[in-house]
Structure 1
Amino acid sequence: MDDNIIKIPDSEKTLTAGKLFYNWFAANIGIMGFVFGAMIVSYHLSFFQAIIASLVGALSFAIPGWVAMIGQKEGVTTFKLSRAAYGTHGNKIPNAIAWFNMIGWLAVNVITGTLLLVSLFSIINVKKSSVTTAVALLIFGGLVVLSGLLKEDTLAKIQTWLSWIFGILTVLILVLFLLKAKWQEAFSLPSGSWITGVLPAVSIVAAGSGISWSMAAADWGAYVTKKTKPSATFWNTTMGGAVPLFVLMAGGVLLSTIEPSLATTGDPFGVMYSALPTWIGPIYFLVAAGGLIPQCIISFRSARINLATIGINVTQRTSLMIHGAIVLAIPIYVLFISGNFLSNFELFLNFLGICLASWVAIFLCDSVMFRSQGYDVALLENDSKTHFNWRGIISWILATTTGFLFTNNAIWNGPFAHGIFRNNSLGVFVSAIIAIICMLLWKVAVPNKKVA
């Protein structure tokens, strides 16, 4: 899409609320939802607490729903809208971070999909080798890159079919897991702490779902037909992501009673495979790999939009070549050279979650507090006179920095990452809360001043 065009032309607004639902449903029907559920249980929660954490975490998809609704009302994609809150130049920092995040998760999904295809090959007696790995990468990575040639309406139709196909197969696998689940053991799990257990569990799910996907939401909402009610856009985006995610996480909670190692293993797909009858092995790996494709489609599409919004204007073919090369180069490095890259790369992406939590909090606060009459298109133009909106920039820097101070992991130890903030992703929530507080202070400090 031409970056000089701010509002999407009415002729290109072809998505309905139902297509939005299928789009987000397809992106969240993947088997990784089971792993999220097992991770929740790892916080030593009771069955009831784990289900509550799953529900609240899944409902974080209200954030993308809200962003999509704004995108539909204005007919503008996510990071062009974000220019109002940060200024055209100031917006490039979170915009670039979002691009890195999209590309990063896209590469992780392509790597995972490739490994799943290799496992599928082994089931049909094709031994693992460099050749079979290369073939699997070309198949999976090629499908993702080719999706960049398709228009929004076509992608929506593909997502609809993927929702039905992989949704039905995933439900089949879910039923098999539930039949083997140790229900009595699940119901007898002792209760954990609501503060140090449930809250961090919710933060993990929210960081990996609602907050991460918020940066792509208006990229789809902007293409919704004008006759669609904004409330329909909100609810179909929210429930499209939340429903499958919650159901699968609840299944993961029960699955953890069969395979307690699921939350900590380096090969969650292999652990889940071991809990299934051998006859469903090929279907399982096909569903696991296929469930990643919708996520890749969304990430790939929004990455291309973000690159243009940053100001790197290239043709669609050049953009496709750039992103395609990156999407294939990172997996080639991981699969054939490094081997230890994936865990460190996912760690890097967790850092980006803190940056994006503060970004979306400021974006939504700015929309509510200062854009009640709609967005001034002049603020969204490439040559806008408002290069830096310091209200948003300062709030983002303060919030993001504070989030890091309350975060620790294998390579970073924040000075305030103690107690309930130790060894979890609560820094994401801290970042969002500080961002909201900063924006409220701005609103109180200049209540009547005309703002950019």
Structure 2
Amino acid sequence: MTPDTTTTPDTTTETPQGTLETRGIEPVPEAERTGHPRQLFWVWFAANISILGLPLGATLVAGTGLTVWQAVIVAAVGSVGSFAIVGAVSIAGRRGGAPGLTLSRAVFGARGNIGPTAVSLISRLGWETVNTTTAAFALLSLFTIVFATSPLATDHPVLTIACIAVFELLTVLVSGLGHAVLVAVQRWATWVFGALNLVVGGFLVATIDWSAVAAATPAPLGAMLAGISVIAAGTGIGWANASADISRYQAPAVRAGALVTSAAAGAGIPLVLLISLGSMLAAGDPSLAEAGDPVAAIRGMLPPWMAVPYLVAAFGGLLLSNHLSVYSAGLTTLTLGIRIPRVYAVVVDVVITFVGAIYFMLVADSFYGPFIAFISLLAVPITAWVGVFVVDMLHRHSYDPVALMDTGRTSAYWYRGGIEPRAVSAWALAIVVGYLFMGPLAGTWVGENGLGWIVTFVVAAGGYALMGGAKR
């Protein structure tokens, strides 16, 4: 029998960083790793200035009963803390010079890594569909203002599809070109759309019912813990398995602490501001937390003449988030074994989210509630992956570049039948435990306070360590 030595495409590409990144998932040569943490600060900042932070903050007040000041604390702990984990995982990208799910082959095995990779890709595509649908609603609202058309997507199916197409095209222009263009665009666009968000935020502050803010009764500690879980699962945890995709171009001499700080501060600053503002708005108007179209709900709080800059800011923030997500999804698609160049993988992912957005805007009766619930379910296996991966990082300071690209029996990461049994077992066990707290054990203190994801992390990390995963 001929040994299976299947490898991913363009593994011999040695094109340096330029306008078009032709490299796939193969490790970046050390000579081309010249990045610095300031680049990552802007990448994470840009990816988190979308308006989706406002309804997330509204949920803390309207959904869990927190006061605004409790919500601010929860926003800081949940977003900064979860993105500190993102920064910690990005250290592996600096060490190995490859995308996160590609490095994960060294941990789970060439075949055992298929599960975590598939979950990661589904999660990325899900959030991209959220971004695309929300941005298309924003663009549709702009047309409503300019041409006085109906705001309902179903009244203008052709226009709706065109709005989706514009957003997807602008996404491909950046994500398709690759790392160097992505880093540059995220940095400069942050100033433009960040400034617009500040202007819009200033007008939203004027609508806050400060008497309702002051009259709120503090919620118990358990509610704050549940809020931290909601914020962590909705922000940093979903990005953890994508962090190494960007940090793989970081210089080998970059300090680990600088990577953690760049992610925690870069994402934490805009998230704390947006989530806090959303909680203040919901103190006087809880309907924001339940809005089927958060773009329209927030627009209704602003003066009519502020609608255009607000919608532009909303569209731009979502676009910046989508740039990073689609870039990562393209690399994850290649890791899954799809044998096409990276730029084509980006196009495939965009086509999937294009079709998904059309369905949710023109066919489905509802979108945000059920879909966010589905994405939240995926946070359990992603958290389990993080637990195993982080423990493995404690001893693995380098990766075999040849073995990473060899998914056959000749690979040093083949282990037993292509599976590393300790890693896969710990991952699977943690998933089962995590879902128990969303099902049969949902009525326990842990389940009621949304702490199942923490138990998931502990079980994954602890189980892998006890089975010897933390040792050489």
Q: Tell me the TM-score normalised to structure 1 length.
A: 0.91
What residue identity is the alignment partner of 1:264?
Answer: E
1:417 lines up with 2:442 in the alignment: yes
Matched residue, 1:427: 452
Q: Distance in 2 between matches of 1:19 and 1:268?
A: 30
Matched residue, 1:28: 48
Q: CA deviation at 1:420?
A: 3.5
- 2:284 is paired with a residue whose SS is coil
Q: CA deviation at 1:427?
A: 2.7
- 2:219 is paired with a residue whose SS is coil
Matched residue, 1:2: 10
What residue identity is the alignment partner of 2:443?
Answer: H
Q: Distance in 2 between matches of 1:240 and 1:176?
A: 24
Q: Label 1:277 to 1:75 Cα distance change in 2 as closer, same or farther (>3 A).
A: same
Of 80, 83, 95, the match for 2:102: 80
More off after superposition, 204-213 vs 141-150:
141-150
What residue identity is the alignment partner of 1:158?
Answer: V
More off after superposition, 76-85 vs 152-161:
76-85
Of 288, 293, 315, the match for 1:262: 288
Q: Distance in 1 between matches of 2:429 and 2:253?
A: 40
- 1:180 is paired with a residue whose SS is coil
Report percent identity of matched pairs.
Answer: 32
Matched residue, 1:274: 300
Q: CA deviation at 1:261?
A: 1.3
Q: Distance in 1 between matches of 2:174 and 2:405?
A: 28
Matched residue, 2:39: 19
Of 414, 418, 426, the match for 1:395: 426
Preserved CA contact (<8 Å) 2:282 2:288: yes
Matched residue, 1:169: 196
Q: Deviations over 1:15-61 (max 9, x none)?
A: 33222111110010111112121111131123332221111111111
Matches within 5 A, 1:350-365: 350-365=376-391
Q: Distance in 2 between matches of 1:423 and 1:271?
A: 29
Matched residue, 1:55: 76
Matched residue, 2:340: 314
Q: Label 1:321 to 1:74 Cα distance change in 2 as closer, same or farther (>3 A).
A: closer
Matched residue, 2:464: 439
Q: Deviations over 1:329-359 (max 9, x none)?
A: 1112222333435543332211111110111
Q: CA deviation at 1:14?
A: 4.5
Q: Label 1:118 to 1:8 Cα distance change in 2 as closer, same or farther (>3 A).
A: same
Preserved CA contact (<8 Å) 1:54 1:205: yes
Measured on the aligned residues, the alpha-carbon RMSD in Å equals 2.1
Q: Label 1:310 to 1:423 Cα distance change in 2 as closer, same or farther (>3 A).
A: same
Preserved CA contact (<8 Å) 2:85 2:260: no
Q: Distance in 2 between matches of 1:41 and 1:49?
A: 9
Matches within 5 A, 1:16-415: 16-42=36-62, 43-59=64-80, 60-128=82-150, 129-195=156-222, 197-368=223-394, 370-371=395-396, 373-377=397-401, 380-382=404-406, 383=408, 384=411, 385-386=414-415, 387-407=418-438, 414-415=439-440
Q: Label 1:174 to 1:354 Cα distance change in 2 as closer, same or farther (>3 A).
A: same
User: Mind listing any 5+ residue stretches in structure 1 that lack a counterpart?
Assistant: 408-413
What residue identity is the alignment partner of 1:58?
Answer: S
Q: Label 1:38 to 1:317 Cα distance change in 2 as closer, same or farther (>3 A).
A: closer
Preserved CA contact (<8 Å) 2:175 2:182: no
- 2:216 is paired with a residue whose SS is coil
What residue identity is the alignment partner of 1:390?
Answer: P
Q: Distance in 1 between matches of 2:461 and 2:434?
A: 13
Q: Distance in 2 between matches of 1:80 and 1:26?
A: 25
Preserved CA contact (<8 Å) 2:208 2:281: yes
Runs of 4+ in 1 over 6 A off after TM superposition: none
Q: Distance in 1 between matches of 2:291 and 2:136?
A: 19
Q: CA deviation at 1:77?
A: 1.6
Q: Distance in 2 between matches of 1:132 and 1:424?
A: 43
Q: Tell me the TM-score normalised to structure 2 length.
A: 0.87
Q: Deviations over 1:254-292 (max 9, x none)?
A: 111232211122222222112212111111111111110
What residue identity is the alignment partner of 2:357?
Answer: P
Preserved CA contact (<8 Å) 2:68 2:276: no
What residue identity is the alignment partner of 2:52?
Answer: M
Preserved CA contact (<8 Å) 2:292 2:367: no
Matched residue, 1:410: none
- 1:256 is paired with a residue whose SS is helix
Alignment length (residue pairs): 438
Q: CA deviation at 1:149?
A: 2.5
Q: Label 1:155 to 1:178 Cα distance change in 2 as closer, same or farther (>3 A).
A: same
Q: CA deviation at 1:430?
A: 2.5
What residue identity is the alignment partner of 1:57?
Answer: G
What residue identity is the alignment partner of 1:104?
Answer: G
- 1:418 is paired with a residue whose SS is coil
Q: Distance in 2 between matches of 1:191 and 1:376?
A: 53
More off after superposition, 328-337 vs 158-167:
328-337
Q: Deviations over 1:141-197 (max 9, x none)?
A: 2212332331211111110122111111111122222233233432331111112x0
Matched residue, 1:411: none
More off after superposition, 64-73 vs 181-190:
181-190
Preserved CA contact (<8 Å) 2:174 2:181: no
Preserved CA contact (<8 Å) 1:361 1:435: yes
- 1:124 is paired with a residue whose SS is helix
Q: Label 1:61 to 1:274 Cα distance change in 2 as closer, same or farther (>3 A).
A: same
Structure with higher helix content: 1
Q: Distance in 2 between matches of 1:378 and 1:142?
A: 35
User: Mind listing any 5+ residue stretches in structure 2 that lack a counterpart?
Assistant: 1-8, 13-24, 151-155
Q: Label 1:297 to 1:85 Cα distance change in 2 as closer, same or farther (>3 A).
A: same
